[in-house]
A and B are shown apart, each in its own frame.
Chain A
Amino acid sequence: MLKEIRRRIAIENEIEFITSECRHKGSCAGTCPKCEAEVAYLESQLAARKRLGKVVKVVGLSMGLATIAPVTFTSCHPHDGDMAVDVLQGDVVNARPDDQEPKKLGGDVAITPDQNLL
């Protein structure tokens, strides 16, 4: 999903954006060197557009994307079960219809042991 967001930003701002499959070993949460490099590239290109007085379009470009797409936490490959604990916390934005059984969730917003903290 993060890759799709990057792609949309590039398209909307007429930035040439050639991406390739991530070769990061293990789960990629969007923080691998390749993903970070793509973000840095976009930022530099957007800054260049600003300097040239061109319009920069970023705000709200992917507004619906992050709420309707399934939670995958990966920018490169969707891994089922990737950061499963986070998924267990569920979507706390929209209240669940009354006729559905409550989901079993993890409780408070959790910092999980498998996340790279600090």
Chain B
Amino acid sequence: MKAKISGISRLRIGVDGEGVTTLVAFMLCPLTCEYCLNPQTLSVSYHHKEYSPAELYDEIRKDELYFLATGGGVTFGGGEPLLSHQFIKEFRDICGDQWKINVETSLNVPPSFLETVIPVADEYLIDIKDMNPTIYKSYTGKDNSQVLKNLRTMAELGLSGKCVIRIPLIPGFNTSEDVAKSEAEVIELGFERIDKFEYDIGYAERKRNMQDA
């Protein structure tokens, strides 16, 4: 099994998971977000590498001392990492139990994909965009019914403590009031760790321009 990887970023500290982490960004995403920060993951022409789980392990195990000392590990992002759910499961089998595995996801995937990863992931960083289906579709081009279903599943399985729910204020798409409504809904579902923030459109646009150049 091989996965298309758009980038590997080593030695990240306190950014996307506890301790020292390595970010592994997969290609492909079901969403087409207006301000996507990693649009290269959607481009079929983008130069990427393909790794098997064992090859990826060999690539990033050089930082194992840091992972073990700080309670860190690997953060799978993208793109949408849950599209590579079998890869992540196989990677866990290879890396063992001591590394943390974090997943940065939109949860907009079939429930079976999430079910594959649940036994092997330690933490989820879930960017729900907005709970309002109209706003969500307007920003991502997709509906959020799978997101809602997967959120409910995680809450019912008692996994809310492993989740950080990220709720962005998206200029031109939602308002502070919308963010507050989304927050209330996810709290109602049982989630407590919530990260509200504002998208930096300027950065996304600069990145896209660099990509096009």
Contact = CB atoms under 8 A, between A and B. Distances in A.
A59 B13 contact: no
Given A92-B164, A105-B197, A115-B7, A1 B38 contact: no
B198 interface: yes
Contact of B198 (A63, A75, A105): A105
A23 to B, nearest CB: 19
A61 B38 CA distance: 34
B173 interface: no
Q: Is the interface of A mostly helix, strand, loop or mixed?
A: loop
Contacts of B35: 107
Nearest to A68: B14
B12 A102 contact: no
Contacts of A87: 15
Interface in A87-112: 87-96, 102-112
A90 B71 contact: no
Interface in B173-213: 192-200, 203-204, 207, 210
Most buried by A among B13, B65, B68: B13
A30 B197 CA distance: 29
A103 B8 CA distance: 26
Most buried by B among A86, A90, A92, A112: A92
A106 B168 CA distance: 10
A29 B193 CA distance: 29
Interface residues of A, number: 55
B16 A109 contact: yes
Given A67-B18, A85-B203, A92-B164, A106 B37 contact: yes
Contact of B62 (A39, A85, A91): A39
A61 B23 contact: no
Interface of B: 5-20, 23, 25, 35-38, 40, 48-49, 62-63, 65-66, 68-72, 75, 77, 98, 104, 123, 125, 127, 164, 166, 168-169, 192-200, 203-204, 207, 210
Given A102-B197, A117-B9, 16 more contacts: A5-B69, A31-B11, A39-B63, A58-B65, A58-B69, A59-B68, A60-B68, A63-B70, A63-B71, A66-B20, A90-B197, A92-B16, A105-B168, A106-B204, A109-B75, A112-B9
Interface of A: 1-2, 5-6, 8-9, 29-31, 36, 39, 42-43, 46, 58-63, 65-67, 69, 71-73, 75, 85-96, 102-113, 115, 117-118
